[in-house]
Amino acid sequence: MAEVVIATEKLTKRFGDFTAVDEITFKVFKGEIFGFLGANGAGKTTAMRMLIGLSIPTSGKATVAGFNVYHQTESIKKNIGYMSQKFSLYEDLTVMENIRFYAGIYGLTNAQIKTKSDQLIAGLNLEKQAKELVASLPLGWKQKLSFSVALLHEPKIVFLDEPTGGVDPLTRRQFWELIYAASDKGITIFVTTHYMDEAEYCNRISIMVDGKINAMDSPENLKKQFNANSIDEVFYQLARRAIRAE
């Protein structure tokens, strides 16, 4: 039985009268690539913010890396990595300076920082750009760098919030290579995305509609269940009846 790294039970978030996340229950296993899908306004980002310790749930339970989201957010933060939609890198700092900064605030020692940053830069073939400002990198490279930086402190789980926005399919594919490599090392990937073809790359996916999870299974099984040829169609069938849209 695979180890559970994320578990939620009727996790809910309300803002006044508005229920953004409505009693969602799911588990994510170690080493999985878990796709967290949903239309705009379905509640994905709100749900994720609760899991990474940025927001306290209104009710329900959730544990991430074994720590509970109400009282142990500090421990959660030490064990997870995060890549936001708007990226994480400082444009007016160089590649090297960004790496050293994040390694530093995650508490890595100087020796570790040296090894990890060399590895990272070699891994992405960024030796020539190491001393350039991040602003000078093309978007695709920034994304890959951002992802690698999120992994510097070897977290158990990494949360990716729409990591491949705005780049061409080839670059997206290359990004997913990085995700596979991380998953192979046993890191759990929790990724939200709009791109339904990326859903196919995941081990399991869940689809949120109006705050609830309306489907959760492997891409194959979902296609069979909904009699669809692609996740696109599955999504369309579910989302079409949604009341909330952005």
- For another protein, the binding residues (CB under 8 A) are 52-56, 74, 77-78, 80, 82, 84-91, 102, 105-107
Q: Rank residues 87 and 176 by Cβ distance to another protein and give the closer one.
A: 87
**Structure token pair of residue 174:** 């290359």
Q: Rank residues 52 and 215 by Cβ distance to another protein and give the closer one.
A: 52
Q: Rank residues 105 and 170 by Cβ distance to another protein and give the closer one.
A: 105
Q: Which residues contact 155 (CB under 8 A, 6 or more apart)?
A: 79, 80, 81, 187
Distance CA 81, CA 156 (A): 8
Q: Which residue's structure tokens are 């780049």?
A: 167
Cβ(155)–Cβ(81) under 8 Å?
yes
Shortest CB 143 distance to another protein, Å: 14
Q: Rank residues 63 and 231 by Cβ distance to another protein and give the closer one.
A: 63
Shortest CB 238 distance to another protein, Å: 29
- How far is it between the farthest Cα atoms of the chain? 54
Measured between alpha carbons, how far apart are the two ends of the chain, in Å? 39
Shortest CB 212 distance to another protein, Å: 23
Shortest CB 17 distance to another protein, Å: 17
Cβ(229)–Cβ(237) under 8 Å?
no
